[in-house]
Homo-oligomer: A and B are copies of this chain.
Amino acid sequence: MHIAREDAIVSAVNRLLAEKGFEAMTVDEVAAEVGIAKASLYKHFPSKEDLAAAAMVRVMNRAVAFLDSLDTTQPPLERLKRVVRWTIEVKLDGEMPSLPSESSSLRQTLTTNKAYVDGLMNVSDRLGGWITEAQETGGINAALPPLVVLYTLYARACDPVLGFLKSAGLYTNEQIIEMVLSTCFEGLNTR
């Protein structure tokens, strides 16, 4: 099955991107992990950049699907927290591909990838709406520009604290999630 094969490829790419990033990932590794020849990969995807972009698009689609699944009767702050929790869970599971650095060749490919840009816009618009709602109702600090709040939430997807705490081995995933959610929304200071 053609689609199942491509899905396996994208899964391998996704995992490797999460583990080592775009530059350090090699196409040979991807082929080895999928269990096919490198040349076969290139029948499915024209370049390493497109391979990585497919993984980024998929995770973006997963994010959109998660937003769709949220109970809209919940208050906006609660929905935002659930999104952050989902993001952290994905990263702890080793399934969150890390963003390329600003000067990476992948950036160019991504910014011209309609599926990716559309997904990002979709997610940003919806989260942006919830943020301003949560600021109006007093849940989120109204002194912060919504853009700053949005970026701060996005940043949980590449928070190194998660990896550090996981490799320390002192806490369960659930404990890590609760602590990182706490530092994110409540801050480090005593309340």
Contacts and interface: CB of A to CB of B under 8 A. Distances in A.
Interface in A144-169: 144-145, 147-149, 151-155, 158-161, 163-165, 167-168
A166 to B, nearest CB: 10
Contact of A139 (B144, B164, B167, B189): B189
A172 interface: no
A91 to B, nearest CB: 13
A102 interface: yes
A109 interface: no
A44 B3 CA distance: 52
Contact of A183 (B98, B101, B148): B148
A165 B141 contact: no
Interface majority SS on A: helix, strand, loop or mixed? helix
A77, A143, A155: residue with the most chain B Cβ atoms closer than 10 Å:
A155
Nearest to A140: B188
Nearest to A23: B23
A179 B149 CA distance: 10
A1 interface: no
